[in-house]
Amino acid sequence: MSLFLQNLVNALQWGSFYALIALGYSMVYSILMLFNFAHGDIFMVGAYIGVGVAAVLLAASAEGALALPPWAILVLTILLAMVLTSFVGMLVERIGYRPLRGAPRASAAITGLMIGIILETGNLALLGAQRIRFPSLIDTTVYEVAGVFITNTKIIIVVVALLLAAGMHFFVHKTKWGLAMRAMAFDYVAVPLMGVSVNGIAALTFALGSALAAAAGILYALAYPVLDPYMGIVFGWKAFVAAILGGRVSVMGATLAGFLLGFIEIFVAMIFPSTLRDLIAYSIVLLILIVRPHGFFGEPYSARLRL
């Protein structure tokens, strides 16, 4: 029983990363019918930006220029990295995708792959091949509850991920920008007739998705503090799987599917040798998709591509 609960806790943490990355994938896909394959690399960029922001904040606080407790440095690091990474996302949209808005879907998809490679190798060129360590911002405390070990890091990761997902849900369903995003997800061609700028909403969507990916990057670095330029690739693929599994335009769907993926991976590894983890886990996902090809949630959309 305690083994089960321990794995449940681990799965919640693991699923948090997938859920946050899947949200960005899902929103961009829903609104622009675009697979932003560079999104996993935005997660990586966010983690690296987090390293930079944390280093600056730590240095400032060591010099006494800034008297901040460790938790405040962590919160500031997450928020500032989210803001900075959202600009990276908007830049990717502006340079990589906007010029291709009328182009065939396949062109936009390979653009994503190319931007991903550019971000990975650009990072390599800029910072060199050695792995980079994320500074430790808070001391780890381990709590034992009924034989289950829970660290404060795990609690922070899961709580922050859930708060951000809830915030995103609120934004999409309660604000006028969210309303425009949902409208665009149904029929992006007709949206300008409502006085809504497609480019504006596209940029906003990339900004939000990238901010969430940055948060995921930093939370990941809290648990696994060694970063390398290729850390986003596999995460990106798997979060993409979660996004599709969740269904279109569903913040809840993408979040739940992200956690589900985390659960499947962790529990498969609990039963089978870990080398078989992804083989078995993704065979299960494939079976789920065969039964529910449109994912768990998701809204219908208009297939009319012009007026």
Partner 1 sequence: MLLSVENLRVSYDQIRALQGISFEIDEGEIVCIIGANGAGKSTTLLAISRMVPAEAGTRMTYMDKDLLQYSADKVVSQLAISHVPEGRRLFENLTVMENLRLACFARKDDGVRRDVDRVLSIFPRLAEREHQKAGTLSGGEQQMLAVGRAFVSGRRLMLLDEPSMGLAPLMMKGVFDALREINQEGTTILLVEQNAQLALQFAGRGYVLENGHMVLEGKSADLLADDGVKQAYLGG
Considering only 12, 32, 57, 185, the residue that binds partner 1 (CB under 8 A) is: 185
Q: Taking CB under 8 A as the rule, does residue 190 contact partner 1?
A: yes
Secondary structure (DSSP) of 150-185: EEHHHHHHHHHHHHHHHHHHHHHHHSHHHHHHHHHH
Closest CA to 105 of 27, 201, 35, 41: 35
Q: Of residues 87, 171, 230, 301, which one binds partner 1 by CB under 8 A?
A: 301
Residues 68-97 that bind partner 1 (CB under 8 A): none
Q: Is 87 exposed, middle or buried (0-12, 13-18, 19+ CB in 10 A)?
A: middle
The reply to whether 257 sits near partner 1 by the rule CB under 8 A is no
Any contact of residue 64 with partner 1 (CB under 8 A)? no
Phi then psi dihedrals of residue 36, to 5 deg: -85, 80
How far is residue 87's CA from residue 38's CA, in Å, rounded to a whole number?
14
- Residue 180 interacts with partner 1 (CB under 8 A): yes or no: yes
Q: Is 299 in the site for partner 1 (CB under 8 A)?
A: yes
**Smallest separation, CB 256 to partner 1 (Å):** 19
Select from 197, 224, 226, 283 the one that contacts partner 1 (CB under 8 A): 197
CA 284 – CA 291 distance, rounded (Å): 11
Task: Work out which of 187, 252, 289, 297 binds partner 1, going by CB under 8 A.
Answer: 187
Among 65, 130, 304, 305, binds partner 1 (CB under 8 A): 304
Contact in structure between 266 and 183 (CB atoms under 8 Å): no
Nearer to partner 1, 79 or 182 (CB): 182
Is 227 buried (19+), middle (13-18) or exposed (0-12) by CB count in 10 A? buried
Task: Check residue 175 for interaction with partner 1 (CB under 8 A).
Answer: no
Q: Which residues bind partner 1 (CB under 8 A)?
A: 176, 179-180, 182-183, 185-187, 189-198, 249, 299-302, 304, 307
